[in-house]
């Protein structure tokens, strides 16, 4: 391909809003342009790399017996009402009406659409397991799209959905997906960190996220220095501190006068101690609590709702006192999981006062009978603590867990931070920021039940299939390749996703130099090597700079001086390497083919 016959509008200027390398370099190299906030156009060069990522994903999905389909992007709102997500997806879902007033959704994801297809076509166990996938446009109306392709509004996702007769079959596909994902990212030249993810709004149990490290990452990862433990901070666990050895009898509980001292910081000053000595008590409001609260303090008058005859009742709203060591934070995702609640939030001040019958800042676990007390595991490791005494201007000192208060429930609730200890090996945990590229997830019966999918087994009995869902952001994966492979001058493509594999730069595109450049390009193309020939009438310096910016793996420079040697040569350099080699013209084609194919083979 001749440079002058393609459309590669490179930029010297960096767009003002481009703060990360992929955003900056995709614009500067003429791969991408912006149509509106969060909406982009791939130009020819960008689309070439995009198609390569797509092809790798497609190959790996086909390799594990995924079947590609292509549903419409605009789907009926009815399907979303059936699954219940019409009301829960929030403003990120773009809803539109057609001229007849019918509700439609511009797909943010496709569990509903694909499950409705399966519902219509699934009859027998013989059709299972079934894995359908698409590589298709998605739309999420992000409030603040930014970082170029990393957080756009419209994007392309590979999303797969699998259906199974039993757990073993779901496990098998889930495992195969996990391996296929590892191969996909490796082939794209990406170092991903697979982490145990939180189920979040998706509902369900087993899941794994594939993250890349990124300073602008919207996820915090907790990693172990010693073993391979990696988790999203939303779900990360840590080893509880050892319980105190029962030494000499501890002093008895004692109230102390603490006038107007309501925060832990003030208390630390007042008592000349640190936050680790305190028992912090927070009052939480939880919604849709599926945990059985019968017999729990303060639960007698709670409203209940039975979701189905066999399931335990759900409490639309319930309050809890949550106690944790003073220097730690409550992880609300973990708390919601422990309470089996749809959401938890701190109760308003007036509710705290009403529920604890104490002024704000003086809540504590001792003598608290109006609420169920949920204690973090950190408390059982505390020798003794200081806490609010449920009355104005008073705290207790020498508070002993198990002696002065007994929680209704004890669980791991803390937000894990750097320096905490690994639950698996005791090693030190540390934090990293990450971006999610892919997510695999066992959904169980969530959608197949609400959307009434069924099949008949061997004996003609009707069953609901199990389901899994598996996504990869194609654009984000491409942008992450650039994040991981670039330098000051531009992109350094891994061969597998490079827009072209070889760039030929004639010093001046005329005479014998032009003749050789043309011949070499044609010969390489015959070997199915993708060649860009810079035939522009530009100074060599400009062409070299652009070649570095575009990041095409092998650069071949054809110059008159080198052609006039006794043995004519061309200069060959791998983008990103410091060393330039001279190749004999007669061997150039064979050697370049060898280099390209060696890299493609990995």
Range 427-446, binding Zn ion (CB under 5 A): 427
| Closer CB to Zn ion, 297 or 427, in the complex | 427
| Closer CB to Zn ion, 373 or 429, in the complex | 429
Sole binder of Zn ion in the list 250, 256, 424, 456 (CB under 5 A): 424
Q: Does 225 bind Zn ion (CB under 5 A)?
A: no
Q: Which stretch binds Zn ion (CB under 5 A): 42-50, 224-232, 358-366, 454-462?
A: 224-232
* CA dihedral sign, ordered 588, 590, 593, 595: negative
**Least distance from C-beta 412 to Zn ion, angstroms?**
16
- The single-letter DSSP state of residue 412 is -
Q: Does 239 bind Zn ion (CB under 5 A)?
A: no
**Least distance from C-beta 427 to Zn ion, angstroms?**
4
**Least distance from C-beta 238 to Zn ion, angstroms?**
10
Q: Does 425 bind Zn ion (CB under 5 A)?
A: yes
**Least distance from C-beta 109 to Zn ion, angstroms?**
33
| Closer CB to Zn ion, 434 or 551, in the complex | 434
**Least distance from C-beta 377 to Zn ion, angstroms?**
18
Q: Which stretch binds Zn ion (CB under 5 A): 4-12, 226-234, 558-566, 589-597?
A: 226-234
Task: Name residue 388's beta-bridge partners.
Answer: 395
Cβ of 14: how many Cβ atoms within 10 Å? 13
Q: Is 523 exposed, middle or buried (0-12, 13-18, 19+ CB in 10 A)?
A: middle
Among 239, 170, 34, 157, which residue's Cα sits nearest to residue 446? 170
Sole binder of Zn ion in the list 50, 210, 229, 284 (CB under 5 A): 229
Among 353, 360, 335, 337, which residue's Cα sits nearest to residue 345? 335
455 backbone dihedrals φ, ψ, rounded to 5°? -145, 165
Spatial separation of the C-alpha atoms in residues 501 and 489, rounded to whole Å: 18
| Closer CB to Zn ion, 239 or 449, in the complex | 239
Sole binder of Zn ion in the list 55, 227, 542, 582 (CB under 5 A): 227
**Least distance from C-beta 224 to Zn ion, angstroms?**
3
Q: Which stretch binds Zn ion (CB under 5 A): 62-70, 401-409, 416-424, 441-449?
A: 416-424
Q: Which stretch binds Zn ion (CB under 5 A): 47-55, 227-235, 356-364, 436-444?
A: 227-235
**Least distance from C-beta 83 to Zn ion, angstroms?**
38
Contacting residues for 301 by C-beta, under 8 A, at least 6 apart? none
Among 385, 414, 396, 361, which residue's Cα sits nearest to residue 277? 385
| Closer CB to Zn ion, 434 or 553, in the complex | 434
Query: Strand 373-376 to strand 315-325: parallel, antiparallel, or no bridges (unpaired)?
Result: parallel
**Least distance from C-beta 220 to Zn ion, angstroms?**
17
Question: Which run of H or E residues covers position 476?
Answer: helix 474-484
| Closer CB to Zn ion, 238 or 517, in the complex | 238
Q: Which stretch binds Zn ion (CB under 5 A): 12-20, 51-59, 177-185, 218-226?
A: 218-226
Number of shown-chain residues binding Zn ion (CB under 5 A): 8
Cβ of 197: how many Cβ atoms within 10 Å? 22
| Closer CB to Zn ion, 228 or 457, in the complex | 228
| Closer CB to Zn ion, 268 or 422, in the complex | 422
Sole binder of Zn ion in the list 176, 197, 377, 422 (CB under 5 A): 422
210 conformational bin, left if phi > 0, alpha if psi -120 to 50, beta if neither = beta
CA distances from 340 to 63, 243, 292, 315, 412 (A): 38, 27, 9, 10, 14
**Least distance from C-beta 197 to Zn ion, angstroms?**
18
Q: How does DSSP assign 495-512, residue by residue?
A: GGG-S-SEEEEESSSSHH
Query: Strand 554-558 to strand 569-574: parallel, antiparallel, or no bridges (unpaired)?
Result: antiparallel
| Closer CB to Zn ion, 184 or 422, in the complex | 422
For residue 408 the two structure tokens come to 């209704």
Contacting residues for 424 by C-beta, under 8 A, at least 6 apart? 224, 227, 229
* CA dihedral sign, ordered 414, 417, 420, 421: positive
Sole binder of Zn ion in the list 221, 224, 236, 550 (CB under 5 A): 224
| Closer CB to Zn ion, 141 or 428, in the complex | 428
**Contacting positions for Zn ion (CB under 5 A):** 224, 226-227, 229, 422, 424-425, 427
């Amino acid at each position: 391909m001749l440079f002058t016959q393609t459309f590669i509008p490179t930029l010297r200027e960096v767009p003002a809003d481009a703060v990360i390398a992929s955003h900056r370099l995709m614009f500067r190299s003429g791969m991408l342009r912006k149509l509106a906030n969060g909406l982009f156009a791939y130009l020819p060069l960008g689309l070439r790399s995009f198609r390569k990522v797509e092809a790798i994903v497609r190959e790996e999905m086909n390799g594990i017996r995924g079947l590609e389909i292509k549903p419409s992007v605009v789907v009926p709102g009815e399907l979303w009402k059936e699954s219940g997500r019409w009301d829960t997806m929030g403003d990120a879902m773009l809803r539109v009406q057609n001229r007849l007033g019918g509700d439609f959704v511009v797909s943010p994801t496709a569990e509903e659409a694909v499950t409705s297809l399966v519902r219509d076509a699934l009859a027998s166990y013989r059709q299972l397991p079934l894995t359908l996938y698409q590589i298709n446009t998605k739309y999420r109306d992000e409030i603040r799209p930014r970082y170029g392709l990393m957080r756009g509004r419209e994007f392309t996702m590979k999303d797969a959905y699998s259906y199974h007769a039993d757990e073993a079959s779901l496990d098998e596909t889930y495992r195969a997906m996990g391996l296929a994902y590892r191969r996909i990212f490796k082939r794209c030249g990406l170092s991903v960190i697979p982490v145990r993810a939180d189920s979040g709004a998706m509902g369900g149990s087993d899941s794994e996220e594939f993250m890349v490290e990124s300073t602008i990452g919207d996820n915090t990862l907790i990693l172990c220095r010693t073993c391979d433990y990696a988790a999203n901070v939303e779900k990360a666990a840590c080893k509880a501190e050892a319980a105190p050895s029962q030494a000499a009898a501890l002093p008895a509980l004692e109230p102390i006068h603490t006038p107007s001292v309501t925060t832990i910081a003030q208390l630390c000053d007042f008592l000349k101690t640190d936050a680790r000595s305190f028992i912090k008590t927070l009052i939480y409001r939880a919604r849709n609590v599926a945990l059985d609260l019968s017999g729990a303090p303060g639960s007698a008058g709670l409203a209940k709702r039975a979701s189905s005859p066999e399931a335990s009742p759900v409490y639309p709203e319930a309050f809890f006192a949550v106690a944790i060591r003073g220097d730690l934070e409550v992880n609300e995702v973990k708390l919601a999981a422990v309470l089996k609640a749809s959401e938890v939030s701190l109760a308003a001040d007036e509710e705290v006062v009403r529920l604890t019958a104490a002024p704000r800042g003086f809540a504590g676990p001792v003598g608290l009978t109006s609420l169920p007390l949920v204690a973090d595991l950190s408390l059982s490791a505390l020798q003794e603590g200081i806490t609010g005494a449920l009355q104005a201007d008073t705290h207790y000192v020498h508070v002993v867990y198990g002696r002065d208060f007994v929680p209704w429930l004890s669980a791991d609730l803390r937000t894990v931070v750097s320096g905490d200890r690994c639950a698996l090996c005791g090693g030190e945990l540390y934090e990293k920021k990450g971006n999610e590229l892919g997510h695999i997830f066992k959904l169980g019966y969530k959608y197949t039940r609400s959307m009434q999918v069924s099949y008949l087994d061997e004996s003609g009995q009707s069953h609901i299939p199990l389901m899994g869902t598996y996504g990869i952001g194609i654009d984000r994966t491409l942008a992450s390749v650039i994040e991981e492979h670039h330098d000051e001058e531009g992109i350094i493509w891994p061969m597998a996703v490079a827009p072209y594999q070889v760039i030929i730069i004639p010093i001046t595109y005329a005479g014998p130099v032009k003749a050789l450049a043309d011949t070499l390009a044609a010969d390489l193309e015959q070997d199915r090597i993708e060649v860009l020939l810079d035939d522009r009438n530009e100074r060599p310096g400009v062409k070299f700079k652009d070649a570095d910016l575009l990041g095409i793996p092998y650069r071949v420079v054809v110059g008159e001086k080198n052609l006039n040697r006794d043995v004519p040569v061309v200069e060959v350099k791998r983008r990103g390497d410091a060393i330039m080699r001279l190749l004999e013209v007669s061997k150039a084609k064979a050697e370049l083919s060898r280099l390209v194919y060696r890299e493609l083979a990995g």
